[in-house]
Amino acid sequence: MSESDPSEHPDRNCEAHERPNPDQVLVERALRGDDAAWQAIVDRYAGLAFATARRCGLDRPSAEDVAQSVFASLVKSLATLRDSGSLAGWIVTTSRRAAWRVARQAQQARQARDLLASAPVEEPLADPAEEIAAFERRSQVREALSMIDERCRALLQALFGGTGDPDYAAIGTRFGIAVNSVGPIRNRCLQRLLEALEKVGFRPRRGADFDAR
């Protein structure tokens, strides 16, 4: 008896080529509340999210934060991915956008940090107009500091108010936060200060003094 020709069974061939996408199966299960399916998604793609963020130039802690935020967003977007053929594509795109946003915020935070770390000008300025402008800038800095929340203001003063390098362990103990959280919280506070400085129209002078006292 001769073997049957596969072309005589089109339904069987179609069935073989239309196996469900493994990611779609996991998404469906996760949407039904299957914790194991959700964990399988995280295990499969956490490395991709982290690697994508690193390729965008972020350091390891920032890339880890991005990966966490990507999966927090994924929880909210699962239903829209039910019919998607590429969960990996969504992970890459979302990771890139999150990484670029973090990089932009870090750049803005560095600008604010540089302002805070700038040494005040001790010698009198030759031009009275410059002295007046310097006084106005210091007033704007004080005003901007008053616009951010008290905890951020105290943290920034603790970090940048001394003459030496800040002791992150001591500051973490003082404010009741983990040492590895001081940096991210500092950046958020610096971002708030930068936004407040922009609102009051602060414009640093070249070679700038930045004295809020």
Q: Is residue 9 part of a domain?
A: no
Distance between CA atoms of 171 and 178, rounded to whole angstroms? 9
Residues 149 and 188 in one domain: yes
Q: Is residue 5 part of a domain?
A: no
Residues 81 and 144 in one domain: no
The DSSP secondary-structure symbol of 79 reads G
**What is the mean predicted confidence (pLDDT) over 5-17?**
50
Residues 95 and 174 in one domain: no
End-to-end Cα distance, the chain: 99
pLDDT at 213: 40
Burial class (CB in 10 A: 0-12, 13-18, 19+), 137: buried
Residues 160 and 188 in one domain: yes
Range of the domain at 75: 14-110
Domain boundary residue, one of 84, 110, 136: 110
Q: Which amino acid is at 61?
A: P
pLDDT at 16: 45
Length reported for the chain: 213
pLDDT at 95: 93
Q: Domain containing 49 — which CATH number?
A: 1.10.1740.10
Where is average pLDDT lowest: 62-71, 112-121, 179-188?
A: 112-121
**What is the mean predicted confidence (pLDDT) over 107-133?**
59
In this prediction the pTM is 0.50
Q: Which residue has the higher pLDDT, 150 or 82?
A: 150
Phi-psi region of 97 (alpha: psi -120 to 50; beta: other; left: phi over 0): alpha
Residues 26 and 99 in one domain: yes
Cβ contact 112:160 at 8 Å: no
87-103 confidence digits (pLDDT tens): 888 999 999 999 998 88
Domain boundary residue, one of 81, 110, 139: 110
CB proximity list for 73: less than 8 A, separation 6 or greater: 94, 98
Burial class (CB in 10 A: 0-12, 13-18, 19+), 37: middle
Q: Is residue 56 part of a domain?
A: yes
With a cut of 80, say whether residue 202 has pLDDT above it.
no
Q: How many domains does the chain have?
A: 2
pLDDT at 169: 86
pLDDT at 50: 93
18-41 confidence digits (pLDDT tens): 566 788 888 889 888 889 999 999
